[in-house]
């Protein structure tokens, strides 16, 4: 039993189905059933209003603006003929340009792998100082290790100032403070030498 007062008929001429949950096309405003709501299904004449895709040049990968009513293929073709900044030599550009400085090694890397001790450029295989017989400084210090040593030396320096001018005659407290800071400084130096030792293993 059909209820003609409820729902709407599909606007597609071949269908005309009575649908109780009709869908309205957001481009042309007509009402369709679930089978004909897509632009292609009802051959929507206003579908171009909702087509917001921007074509891209296949040579230079630049987005090409297309005005309303223009055919994207024609606009992209005109861009390729006039404004395209495609450079065929750019595709042949070498990627692996960073040559390893280890004698006898012919490997090249995509990016630089620099030794912190001798500042030489090496491949992944020879990046470690022991692998390329590094002639750099004997004790490499990382930036973090250097900063820790500087903080420790500044703390020790401040504590020696405190001993030079005792506050309220409390020399025993200041001596303990200096001893404690120097002990911490020795621990930092031990840890640093351990890091240096581990970096050679």
- Residue 164's pLDDT is 45
Nearest 5°: phi and psi at 101?
Answer: -90, 0
- Residue 201's pLDDT is 43
Of the two residues 137 and 63, the one the predictor is more confident about is: 63
Q: Is 95 exposed, middle or buried (0-12, 13-18, 19+ CB in 10 A)?
A: exposed
Closest CA to 195 of 126, 145, 150, 153: 145
For 112-123, the pLDDT digits (tens) are 888 888 888 999
pLDDT range class, residue 47, cuts 50, 70, 90: confident
Contact partners, residue 65, CB within 8 Å, separation at least 6 = 54, 75
DSSP output for 114-166: B-TTT--B--STT-STTTTT--S-SS---HHHHHHHHHHHHHHHHHHHHHHS-
For 63-100, the pLDDT digits (tens) are 998 887 788 889 999 998 888 887 766 655 677 788 99
Domains of the chain, by residue range, sit at 1-52, 54-86, 95-137, 143-200
- Residue 53's pLDDT is 75
For 31-44, the pLDDT digits (tens) are 999 888 888 888 88
Within this chain, domains 1-52 and 95-137 share the same CATH topology: yes
- Residue 110's pLDDT is 86
Q: Residues 95-137: name the CATH superfamily.
A: AN1-like Zinc finger (4.10.1110.10)
Closest CA to 66 of 83, 84, 78: 78
Q: 1-52 adopts what CATH topology?
A: Zf-an1 domain (4.10.1110)
Determine the Cα angle at 111 with ends 108 and 114, to 5°.
90
């Amino acid at each position: 039993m059909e209820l003609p007062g409820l729902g709407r008929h599909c606007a597609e001429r071949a269908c005309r189905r009575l649908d109780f949950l009709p869908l309205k096309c957001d481009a042309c405003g007509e009402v369709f059933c679930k089978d004909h709501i897509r632009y292609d299904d009802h051959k929507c004449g206003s579908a171009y209003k909702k087509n917001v895709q921007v074509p891209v040049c296949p040579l230079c990968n630049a987005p090409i603006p297309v005005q309303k009513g223009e055919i994207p293929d024609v606009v992209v073709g005109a861009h390729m003929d006039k404004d395209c900044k495609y450079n065929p030599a750019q595709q042949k550009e070498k990627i692996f340009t960073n040559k390893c400085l280890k004698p006898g090694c012919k490997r090249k890397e995509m990016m630089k792998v620099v030794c912190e001790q001798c500042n030489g450029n090496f491949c992944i295989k020879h990046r470690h100082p022991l692998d390329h017989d590094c002639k750099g400084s004997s004790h490499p210090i990382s930036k973090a290790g250097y900063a820790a040593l500087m903080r420790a030396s500044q703390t020790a320096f401040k504590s020696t100032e405190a001993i030079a001018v005792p506050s309220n005659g409390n020399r025993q407290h200041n001596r303990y403070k200096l001893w404690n800071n120097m002990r911490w400084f020795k621990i930092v130096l031990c840890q640093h030498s351990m890091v240096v030792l581990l970096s050679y293993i």
